[in-house]
Amino acid sequence: MQARGQMMAAGMMGAVAFQKGLGAIHALSHPIGAIHGTHHGTTNAVCMPAVLRLNAPAIAARFDRAGGYIGIDGGFAGFQAFVDEFNASLGIPQTLAEIGVTDPDFDWLVREALADPSCGGNPIPLTVENVRCLLLELL
């Protein structure tokens, strides 16, 4: 019963977090998954390290305090290392090509990512240029 209560609380926390906006990770994952049939959670995990790097100028200072709350030392760099290690421990691929995204239509993916309602929640405004750079980095 205790585990069920904790899962319910975790689900509620996730729903509350959605109210803040989702950002570039989801804005990229939605069109990639729609065309290439990738698993949404896996696509999010593949995209996360690159999106963290893009957003670093806007979010890095917050991680000194936030990382401490969840037991991660080293500020933003420590959090980035944690994400990389966590992904590796789960066997998450590092590139979109590893999950079947080959020969993508960059123009379509960029256009759809920028049109996705999630992109408005990104700390760094998304543009044609930085979305294209993210996709190139992720391949």
Q: At what angle do helices 106-115 and 24-36 cross, to 10 degrees?
A: 130
Tell me the pLDDT tens digit for each residue of 29-53.
999 999 999 999 999 999 999 999 9
Whole-model pTM? 0.85
The average pLDDT across 103-130 equals 92
The average pLDDT across 110-136 equals 94
pLDDT value at 104 more than 70:
yes
Domain extent listing, the chain: 22-138
Kindly list the distances between the CA atom of residue 62 and the CA atoms of 26, 51, 52, 75, 79, in Å, as whole numbers in the listed order: 21, 16, 13, 8, 11
> What is the third-level CATH fold of 22-138?
Dehydroquinate synthase-like, alpha domain (1.20.1090)
**Cβ-based neighbour number of residue 126 at 10 Å:** 23
DSSP state, 100? T
* 15 band by pLDDT with thresholds 50, 70 and 90: low
Tell me the pLDDT tens digit for each residue of 122-132.
999 999 999 99
The average pLDDT across 9-27 equals 74
